[in-house]
Chains A and B, each alone.
Chain A
Amino acid sequence: GDSVTQMEGPVTLSEEAFLTINCTYTATGYPSLFWYVQYPGEGLQLLLKATKADDKGSNKGFEATYRKETTSFHLEKGSVQVSDSAVYFCALSRGSARQLTFGSGTQLTVLP
């Protein structure tokens, strides 16, 4: 079945550091890929998405490129802020599938 594997956390960075959170997936066909962010005490918010190979999703300084050859969708940001501290989830959906399949999440803490 479909699965998503994220790098294990927690990840702790200083403000203005470069961020990479790795995500790889297993799925048949051509899934759509997503990054969601969850702030403490809140639900999930869609951060960015990509629906086909080589697409780059971007939002709020975050970027991720859909790499079909490596089945990856790594999240990057050039300069993190304290306000980026949250849990980040990589997810996929396939074709007519009705659900999102999530990774286990990566806790990011950014220190001032």
Chain B
Amino acid sequence: ETGVTQSPTHLIKTRGQQVTLRCSSQSGHNTVSWYQQALGQGPQFIFQYYREEENGRGNFPPRFSGLQFPNYSSELNVNALELDDSALYLCATTTGTGGVIDQPQHFGDGTRLSIL
């Protein structure tokens, strides 16, 4: 039990729709990262938020966007969904200054997004 909660656990959407995924971080964790894990692959970094500001971004298009709230919970928004967006979306939280990775990252169980 990591204390990181993601919702919903499963979601089905169609191409062109928009989706919002949510992550509640473990108490005191001020940094949240989002990853996309396609079936049979390792997670790919989408972006990180630290104290409500984007703090690093991977190779994902602008239709992937996020927010972090004052209580450090976070949202991942994806617009204009494509079939290739079908994946498990993981969030990971930690403490620290700017999210340097040497501190343990605590992962949630993910949201399984299916695009039809």
Contacts and interface: CB of A to CB of B under 8 A. Distances in A.
B42 A98 contact: no
A98 B108 contact: no
Interface string A89-112: 101010011111111110000000
Given A43-B92, A45-B107, 11 more contacts: A4-B42, A32-B102, A43-B109, A45-B2, A46-B104, A97-B56, A98-B33, A98-B55, A104-B40, A104-B42, A105-B42
Contacts of B107: 36, 43-45
Contacts of A96: 98, 100
Given A43-B2, A44-B107, A46-B105, A99 B41 contact: no
Give the interface SS of chain B, mostly helix, strand, loop or mixed. loop
Interface in B13-51: 33, 35, 40-45, 48
B110 interface: yes
Task: Tell me which of A32, A91, A99 has the highest count of chain B C-beta atoms within 10 A of its own C-beta.
Answer: A99
Interface residues of A, number: 23
B101 A100 contact: yes
Contact of A93 (B98, B101, B109): B101
Q: Which 10 A-B pairs have the closest CB atoms?
A: A102-B42, A98-B56, A99-B45, A93-B101, A43-B107, A44-B107, A43-B109, A98-B48, A104-B42, A43-B108
